[in-house]
Amino acid sequence: MTILVTGGAGFIGANFIYYEQEKHPEDRIVCLDKLTYAGNLSTLEAAMKHPNFRFVRADICDVEAVNALFAEEKPDIVVNFAAESHVDRSIEDPGIFLRTNIIGTQVLMDASLKHGVKRYHQVSTDEVYGDLPLDRPDLFFTESTPLKTSSPYSSSKAGADLLVNAYHRTYGLPTTLSRCSNNYGPYQFPEKLIPLMIANALADKPLPVYGEGLNVRDWLYVEDHCKAIDLIIRHGKVGEVYNIGGHNEMKNIDIVRLICAALGKSEDLIVHVSDRKGHDMRYAIDPTKIHSELGWLPETKFADGIQKTIRWYLDNRAWWENIISGEYRNYYDKMYGERLGRQ
């Protein structure tokens, strides 16, 4: 079987490729990635040694390039990870999010229809549901929760989700869709909370925390997410949406404190900065459906996963140091420089 993985040089996509290569070495994996700022070819260095792996650099919005690849490889399954995904960046420049996350999805689905793909899987996010109140811990997102987006990023992902469902209903495209809570683990780009705090703490730099840091996220170790997607594309019901969550709710400030403790750093490094516009307060996923239908449950406790993640960043400093010395440095200064300067 041939699986086309878009956005495979990014965080979750790369982890998915490694998971598939280990669990299904007989399958051919074709990775399509534009290699934007968050796509790192060095992340796939080990994957490229696999005889059933091919990397293609292209934009999912490029109709000609996408159709040429589909015609050549004839993928059985398409798993679309390719997306602009950082909320702060979407607030700065919404247009690129609409282009990649909506138009790119349309291009991939048109090609899937044209070339007879057996399963098109869209990787989405729990952020399409909006947020939940902090004082209602009994509330969770289910697959029937109405979409209520807060940022240009989540709006673009919700738009893509609706388009996926429309392609299934209107054209009969065999689709599945998953919405996952916050991921953490190896190869995560250092603009995200956990790797950002690890990198800054190791350098004894300020640890910028939005507001009071009371925002709650449901954290899922990335390998558990990959296992869920593998189950969905092979055994999930066509046309269905599956929520993937970790039941690991943590306040942002508690995660930062935990990282400080693990690295032996003082909490004096923590600096509270002005909050993000439209910042969602709490995300929490109810994964009952994927558990009852496919038998999936998260296997990695947060206490174990965060220690494995910290160890990975300690053991792979060259990987993330090369990133933060480049273009990302300019972005970091733009997003946090002014906020930190006001302290």
Q: Name the active-site residue from 20, 59, 84, 126.
A: 126
Pairwise CA distance, residues 277 & 288, whole Å: 32
Contact 214, 251 (CB under 8 A): yes
Pairwise CA distance, residues 202 & 220, whole Å: 24
Whether 19 is catalytic: no
SS3 208: strand
Pairwise CA distance, residues 341 & 343, whole Å: 6
Q: Name the active-site residue from 20, 84, 127, 131.
A: 127
Closest CA to 7 of 59, 67, 65: 59
Whether 153 is catalytic: yes
CA 108-179-117 angle, to 5 degrees, is 30
Pairwise CA distance, residues 131 & 254, whole Å: 19
Whether 45 is catalytic: no
Q: Name the active-site residue from 153, 184, 242, 313.
A: 153
Contact 34, 5 (CB under 8 A): no
Q: Annotated catalytic sites, by residue?
A: 126-127, 153
